[in-house]
Structure 1
Amino acid sequence: MTDLFWPGDHRADDLMSDRAFLAAMVAVEQAWLAALVGAGIAPEEALADLAGYLADGDLEAIARGADADGNPVSGLVALLRIRTAQPTAQWLHRGLTSQDVVDTALMVCVRDAVDRLRKELAHQVRALSRLAETHSGTPMLARTLTQAALPSTVGVKVTRWLSAVLDAAEPLTELRVPVQAGGAAGTLAAAVELSGSVEGAISLSDSLAVALGLAPAPPWHTTRSAITRIGDALVSCCDAWGYIAADVATGSRPEIGEFAEAGGGSSSTMPHKSNPVRSVLLRRTAITAAPLAATLHTASAMSVDERSDGAWHAEWATLRTLARHTVVAAAHATELLAGLQIDVERARANLGAADRVLSEQKTMTDLTGHAASAEYLGAVEQLVDAALHRAGHYLKDAP
């Protein structure tokens, strides 16, 4: 995919694209049909390679047809029933509803995006751990409210970045991406009728989940916390990267000069510039991610009846956009951290030039009568060590 309005969009490849969503919907129909056959409900002859019945041009036709029904499932099912023979056409989609297919296909697409994010986050934790360890004792000026504050180290700065990334990465590891197979009103009525029992209907749903690599779950229909949890997890990643990018962009200003991106971007008219493009694009994503998640929360709050009239529909493109932007930002963050350059001498010089950064120390020693420590660095070594220990624990199970 390409998107001139969102530089870097190609880094998300086909994730959450129209083509991926269509393939996921077909995969849902395929897995459900296989579950019906596996349970002895539909005959073995009903099994068919549904993806093989799609042709070039179907994507656009299904997308245009969705305007009539409000979702793309009706057109897809109608097309497949026309092209497949009996008994495939007869048993296709039986026991499902359009919401089952849309929601579960979205979860399949999210599953793939989350897998990519987990890999990127593991790269970032490794890169940050190396930086924190290398620069655990490198002197640096700490700043609060834009002003010189106290002596610190580069290791502590990087440790804060590492903690932010871990705060986002750890919940993502546990993120539950559930199946949806409740039938027309989320009661499993059709599946119970087909299978002959409640247990049989639940088994069909579980088989669908296993086949698609999703978490088994009872129908959630208009309880949309599954969607908002995913949105929140994505935004937490973007928040962490935005924080890092803000520090790097600020620290790369020539008057500070402590950080630099490897291979900074060029200017169209000013050849002397090396712009912190990765940081700029990460800040862009951080600024826009939270409002997208807010839309998901608004849609969840507006959920009504057993299928929402508009709130459900508002989720699809919103989640797609948020997920793709997050994957792009993940790639940018990994690239930024892998090539981040730290000017040790400049950091030391900025600290040395700062005025009265030990004034707090004097107040403390006057109060206690204790001798002043040589560097006034507090517990920086322990802070770095604690973050590195946490990172090591996370990486034991990371991809």
Structure 2
Amino acid sequence: MPNSSARPAPFESARAVLAEVTPPIALGPLDGRYRATVAPLVDHLSEAALNRERLHVEVEWLIALTDGTPAGPIVPGAPQLSEADKIYLRAVVADFGAAGIAEMAEIERETVHDVKAVEYFLKRRLAAAPGILGESTVLPSVGELVHFACTSEDVNNLSYALMVHGAVVQVWLPAARALVEQIADLAREHAGVPMLSRTHGQPATPTTVGKELAVLAHRLRRQVRRVENAEYLGKLNGATGTYGAHVAAVPGTDWPAVSKAFVEGLGLTWNPLTTQIESHDWQSELYADVARFNRILHNLATDVWTYISLGFFKQIPVPGATGSSTMPHKVNPIRFENAEANLEISCALLDTLSATLVTSRMQRDLTDSTTQRNIGPAFGHSLLAIDNVRRGLKALAVNVDLLAQDLDGNWEVLGEAIQSAMRAASVAGVAGMENPYERLKELTRGQRINGDDLRTFVAGLGLPDDVAARLAAMSPGSYVGLAEQLVADYL
């Protein structure tokens, strides 16, 4: 039996090796097809961003060790840095770009250790300082204070906290807030547009388009507030969280106080009790909240998709766009379908991050290291979904006429209103109001009735005149309760 999957040799040799194409081709869609949408996250959650934050932490730790207290530097004998020295050091972080990235990668190929490469990179800059600041600079003499008493995780945990904080506050939250306000604006715009609701997929009590959108905006906004209130924890306490190296080197210093001041000076919350790693509980909490936002947004995407399928929402065609390669009439809800898929991928990554990061074998294992390198894709797929939903919503129009037809074809939904009025009348002492639910069930369940049928039924009930008139004037389109008011009052 010949191997049907084997290609002829000439066919094989005719193909270019895409892995060797320059510039390199992205393996994943976030760095390829969707690069423009997620590019803002690169400044925060890429490998280069990680190394820049590591440099930031190392530089600030070096400055803290030499600044010290009114009694002198934290490490006795350390020289005092001048303002020019500090400006120079902080410029190492600010100027970290293509050349620095390439140089650090070269160093790491030799060290085979990413944090050690950062240390050596910074020491090179200390050695080179006299060429820029003059021979009076003390920076070449403080090389051994770089990474002083630190384990790699002292630098890494602070770097990741700063990275994630930057990504959330500067990129993800602004996009999420803009989406929520867009939904809220649509809710207000359509607050009074009646729509037949469907529970279990069946016609149910009427609502309004705006009220249904307001529910989703309210839910999403609540999750945004949770993310806004997230804590970003950090630690700097040595190889197993005991300050062992710190105390051995400088026993007279209150190292927990130094650590607390340093971590809080970075804008983070200090974690006083850890193993070698910061425990990552804050990350798990944050990612669970972002995943919940994703899932609510997924609910919006599937509902809007369904309303489009029913014709309740019309899609505004984009000039020049193609809906189908063979069916020219089609305008497909691709923005909402794309969002669904990306939200599912984001949630899968966020769930894995949340579950994996809270566990570390005894004092340390490396599962968190590779796991945290997927924070960027997790936020990237969420950001991409937010962008797709926003663009999809901009291209929607409410089909008011079809909504009205749908309502007019389902007069039986007023059965709820009539039997509730009968119950109230019965309590008020009106005779003949027995078994209201059962009587409406007999009239309406599984049957289509029209306005005349319902008005005839109401007229024969013996209700007080004002109640009978109120029910006779009601239509499915007017039976929306306080829907419009709820949007105005609570959104």
User: Which amino acid in structure 1 is aligned with residue 65 of structure 2?
Assistant: L
Give me the whole-angstrom Cα distance separating, in 1, the residues matched to 2:202 and 2:249.
69
Normalized against structure 1, the TM-score is what?
0.83
Partner of 1:342: 398
1:182 aligns with 2:237: yes
Partner of 2:483: 380
Partner of residue 33 from structure 1, selected from 36, 46, 62: 62
1:150 partner SS: coil
User: 1:218 offset after TM fit, Å?
Assistant: 2.6
- Indicate if the aligned counterparts of 1:234 and 1:322 stay in contact, CA closer than 8 A: no
User: 1:158 offset after TM fit, Å?
Assistant: 0.9
Give me the whole-angstrom Cα distance separating, in 1, the residues matched to 2:346 and 2:101.
34
- Indicate if the aligned counterparts of 1:2 and 1:9 stay in contact, CA closer than 8 A: no
Partner of 1:393: none
User: 1:200 offset after TM fit, Å?
Assistant: 4.6
2:206 partner SS: strand
Alpha-carbon displacement from aligned partner over 1:30-76 (angstroms, at most 9, x marks no partner): 1211211221234235855244686352354466568x45xx21232
User: 1:169 offset after TM fit, Å?
Assistant: 0.7
Give me the whole-angstrom Cα distance separating, in 1, the residues matched to 2:258 and 2:387.
39
- Indicate if the aligned counterparts of 1:262 and 1:336 stay in contact, CA closer than 8 A: no
User: 1:322 offset after TM fit, Å?
Assistant: 1.3
User: 1:339 offset after TM fit, Å?
Assistant: 4.9
Partner of 1:117: 172
Which consecutive unaligned segments of at least 5 residues does structure 2 have?
Answer: 1-24, 128-139, 426-462
Partner of 2:279: 223
1:232 aligns with 2:274: no
Query: Compared with structure 1, are the counterparts of its residues 101 and 219 closer, same or farther at alpha carbon in structure 2 (3 Å cutoff)?
Result: farther
Partner of residue 80 from structure 2, selected from 31, 44, 53: 44
2:197 partner SS: strand
User: Which amino acid in structure 2 is aligned with residue 10 of structure 1?
Assistant: A
The alignment of Structure 1 onto Structure 2 pairs a total of residues equal to 382
Partner of 2:100: 55
> What value does the CA root-mean-square deviation take over the aligned residues?
3.0
> Matched residues, percent identical?
22
User: 1:213 offset after TM fit, Å?
Assistant: 3.3
2:269 partner SS: coil
Give me the whole-angstrom Cα distance separating, in 1, the residues matched to 2:316 and 2:250.
60
Tell me: higher relative CO, structure 1 or 2? Use CA pairs within 8 A at least 6 residues apart. Answer: 1
Partner of 2:144: 90
Alpha-carbon displacement from aligned partner over 1:114-166 (angstroms, at most 9, x marks no partner): 11222223323332332222211111111122222221101111111111211
User: Which amino acid in structure 1 is aligned with residue 50 of structure 2?
Assistant: F
- Indicate if the aligned counterparts of 1:191 and 1:201 stay in contact, CA closer than 8 A: no
Structure-to-structure mapping, 1:4-153, within 5 angstroms? 4-6=28-30, 7-13=33-39, 14=42, 15-39=44-68, 40-41=73-74, 42-45=78-81, 48-49=88-89, 50-51=92-93, 55-58=100-103, 60-61=105-106, 68-69=112-113, 72-82=114-124, 84-85=126-127, 86-115=140-169, 116-153=171-208
Alpha-carbon displacement from aligned partner over 1:339-363 (angstroms, at most 9, x marks no partner): 5432333322332234632233343
Give me the whole-angstrom Cα distance separating, in 2, the residues matched to 1:209 and 1:352.
62
Which consecutive unaligned segments of at least 5 residues does structure 1 have?
Answer: 389-399
Partner of residue 313 from structure 2, selected from 258, 277, 283: 258
1:351 aligns with 2:407: yes
User: Which amino acid in structure 2 is aligned with residue 139 of structure 1?
Assistant: P
Structure-to-structure mapping, 1:177-216, within 5 angstroms? 177-192=232-247, 196=251, 199-210=254-265, 212-216=266-270
User: 1:103 offset after TM fit, Å?
Assistant: 1.6
Give me the whole-angstrom Cα distance separating, in 2, the residues matched to 1:113 and 1:261.
33
User: Which amino acid in structure 1 is aligned with residue 79 of structure 2?
Assistant: P
Give me the whole-angstrom Cα distance separating, in 1, the residues matched to 2:156 and 2:183.
38
Give me the whole-angstrom Cα distance separating, in 1, the residues matched to 2:107 and 2:204.
60
Normalized against structure 2, the TM-score is what?
0.69
Give me the whole-angstrom Cα distance separating, in 1, the residues matched to 2:395 and 2:297.
15
Partner of 2:456: none
Give me the whole-angstrom Cα distance separating, in 2, the residues matched to 1:340 and 1:198.
64
Query: Compared with structure 1, are the counterparts of its residues 332 and 188 closer, same or farther at alpha carbon in structure 2 (3 Å cutoff)?
Result: farther
Query: Compared with structure 1, are the counterparts of its residues 191 and 28 closer, same or farther at alpha carbon in structure 2 (3 Å cutoff)?
Result: same
Partner of 1:324: 380
Query: Compared with structure 1, are the counterparts of its residues 56 and 258 closer, same or farther at alpha carbon in structure 2 (3 Å cutoff)?
Result: closer
Structure number with greater Rg is: 2
Partner of 1:391: none
User: 1:223 offset after TM fit, Å?
Assistant: 2.6
Query: Compared with structure 1, are the counterparts of its residues 324 and 180 closer, same or farther at alpha carbon in structure 2 (3 Å cutoff)?
Result: farther
Partner of residue 350 from structure 2, selected from 273, 293, 297: 293
User: 1:170 offset after TM fit, Å?
Assistant: 0.9
Query: Compared with structure 1, are the counterparts of its residues 43 and 339 closer, same or farther at alpha carbon in structure 2 (3 Å cutoff)?
Result: farther
Give me the whole-angstrom Cα distance separating, in 2, the residues matched to 1:350 and 1:195.
79
- Indicate if the aligned counterparts of 2:237 and 2:259 stay in contact, CA closer than 8 A: no
User: 1:234 offset after TM fit, Å?
Assistant: 1.7
Give me the whole-angstrom Cα distance separating, in 2, the residues matched to 1:302 and 1:259.
48
- Indicate if the aligned counterparts of 2:149 and 2:238 stay in contact, CA closer than 8 A: yes
User: Which deviates more, 84-93 or 359-368?
Assistant: 359-368
User: Which deviates more, 29-38 or 318-327?
Assistant: 318-327
- Indicate if the aligned counterparts of 2:234 and 2:278 stay in contact, CA closer than 8 A: no
Give me the whole-angstrom Cα distance separating, in 1, the residues matched to 2:316 and 2:165.
31
User: 1:377 offset after TM fit, Å?
Assistant: 2.0
Alpha-carbon displacement from aligned partner over 1:236-273 (angstroms, at most 9, x marks no partner): 221222121112222122x4242536749634614332
User: Which amino acid in structure 2 is aligned with residue 282 of structure 1?
Assistant: A
- Indicate if the aligned counterparts of 2:104 and 2:117 stay in contact, CA closer than 8 A: no
Give me the whole-angstrom Cα distance separating, in 2, the residues matched to 1:239 and 1:121.
13
